[in-house]
Amino acid sequence: MSAYTPTVTGTGAKATIQRFGGYLAGMVMPNIAAFIAWGLITALFIEVGWIPVDKIGGWGDFSGPGLTGIGLVGPMITYLLPLLIGFTGGKMVHGHRGGVVGAIATVGVIVGTDVPMFLGAMAIAPLTAWIVKKLDEAIAGKVKAGFEMLIDNFSAGIIGGAMAVGGLYIVGPVVESITTAAGNGVQWLVDNHLLPAASLIIEPAKVLFLNNAINHGVLTPLGAEQSAETGKSILFMLETNPGPGLGVLLAIMFFGPIALRPTAPGAIIVHFFGGIHEIYFPYILMKPQLIAATILGGATGVATAVITGAGLVASPAPGSIFAYIAMLPKGGVWGPLLAILMATIVSFVVAALLMGFGRNARAESDAEVQAELKAAEEEVAELKAESKQQRP
């Protein structure tokens, strides 16, 4: 209990996983606005949406001057979103030039399949940018003066074009089979009532700052593919449910260590309304047994969603109650909200039990908590000293 943040300072392995996950999430997260635009347009204007409009939603039989007859929903998810991810993935590797070749190559995987190619974009775009980067490094300083622009444009154009063709014939079909397998795996978990067990992995990973890696690196791309087919996906609700964190924060507010109680209301607002879940991680790292509360709360939320057939149209990002409300599908309003409510209740009760409904807190005097804070500061100082030694 005296250890302020016992595990989070972490090992190299954790940092590596964080970095790889952060890399995947880093391709998606800067483009979340586009996902939200697509989600809102889909929720509103498709045939089963809140305000069906055929020309926008791209359904039914319509035609008119200048209209392609396909609406906005399909092209946005098929082309816009993977291209943005591809551009961003390329840009992360090799700047704007990398972004351009990443986008070129992404078109190949898009047209090579009939599922939205998020994972394909995440694979081929950084690879293409990396190839161009290596080439640029290899020929750096060897280009005759005056030929830089010619070489730059044609090297990137040729490599990007070649990768687009390769993506069409090779990467697209491979990634499609991987995507299909992953989708089938999720469906198998749903069919066998095992999906709530995902919380066993997701909730502990969240507080180790793998939240973005899991949600935007894995679940958002898979969910978007599912949502494009069926109009909603439960995968958007696995990591983003604000219920488990809210339950823990409420329990801290009423029954937590006395010194921590006043910090909880502010944290609740940031967490539940602002959607910044990171705010509750430190409370769990401080009292690691509370992870049981978020796991059980999360599993309850997922189970509720499975039973009610709940799903969201697009990823609620950040995981705020407002984002949830904006992404509710017509005809499926109550399932997601019930999932949040049930998760909150279970998480709150378990966390309250773990803290003895405040009896332990009264026993712990303020002095003890102060000592804990002091110990934490010392620990941090130690860590700094350690890292000093590691540094050259």
Partner 1 sequence: MTTIDPAAVKKLVVACDAGMGSSAMLASTLKKQLAKSGIAVEHTSVQGIPADADLVLTHAGLLDRARGVAGSTPVVPFNLFLGDPAVTKVVTALQNGRPFDV
Would you tell me which residues interact with partner 1 (CB under 8 A)? 4-5, 8-10, 12, 14-15, 18-19, 22-23, 25-26, 29, 208-209, 211-213, 216, 263, 266-267, 270, 274-276, 278-279, 281-282, 285-286, 318, 373, 376-377, 380, 383-385, 387-388, 391
Q: What is the dihedral of CA 171, 173, 179, 183, to 10 degrees?
A: 180
Nearest-5° Cα angle at 20, 14 to 26:
125
Q: Which is nearer to partner 1, 12 or 64 (CB)?
A: 12
Q: Which is nearer to partner 1, 118 or 281 (CB)?
A: 281
How many Å apart are CA 194 and CA 145, to the nearest integer? 63
Q: Which is nearer to partner 1, 215 or 227 (CB)?
A: 215
Report, in Å, the least distance between residue 61 CB and partner 1. 42
Q: Which is nearer to partner 1, 10 or 60 (CB)?
A: 10
Report, in Å, the least distance between residue 134 CB and partner 1. 20
Q: Which is nearer to partner 1, 33 or 307 (CB)?
A: 33
Report, in Å, the least distance between residue 361 CB and partner 1. 18
Report, in Å, the least distance between residue 275 CB and partner 1. 8
Report, in Å, the least distance between residue 297 CB and partner 1. 21
Q: Which is nearer to partner 1, 85 or 104 (CB)?
A: 85
State the SS3 of 181-229: HHHHHHHHHHHCCCHHHHHHHHHHHHHHHHHHHHHHHHHHHHHHHHHHH
Which residues touch 16 (CB under 8 Å, ≥6 apart)?
none
Chain centroid, CA 379 distance in Å = 31
Which residues touch 201 (CB under 8 Å, ≥6 apart)?
none
Please give the C-alpha separations between residue 32 and each of 29, 36, 98, 119, 300, in angstroms, as whole numbers.
5, 6, 20, 16, 27
Tokens of 342: 């049930």
Longest dimension (CA), the chain: 78
Report, in Å, the least distance between residue 223 CB and partner 1. 18
Q: What are residue 51's phi and psi, to 5 degrees?
A: -130, 80
